[in-house]
Amino acid sequence: PRHKCGNQKSCPQNYFAFKIISGAANVVGPSICFEDLVLMSSVKNNIGRGLNIALVNGTTGQLLKTNAFDMYSG
């Protein structure tokens, strides 16, 4: 069976499914999947160098904001 975000197991009831994939240099970009919806990825063109963050409401699961913080340039 297929599970949300390509995880190996389903999450228990009242839990959100998510998967965070780190990038690999300039070859593979990072991605953030939440409840089977890709929030950030190179395909969506909303990732950046450094820390990529998606702010999600912990009760409703609604995406509030995404941003990238460049830790290299300061």
pLDDT tens sequence across 9-68? 999 999 999 999 998 777 788 999 999 999 999 889 999 888 899 999 999 999 999 999
Report residue 35 as tokens. 């409840």
Choose between 65 and 71: higher pLDDT.
65
DSSP per-residue codes, 13-73:
TT---EEEE--BTTTB--EEEETTEEEE-TTTT---SSEEEEEE-TTT--EEEEEEE-TTT
How confident is residue 74, by pLDDT bands cut at 50, 70 and 90?
Answer: low
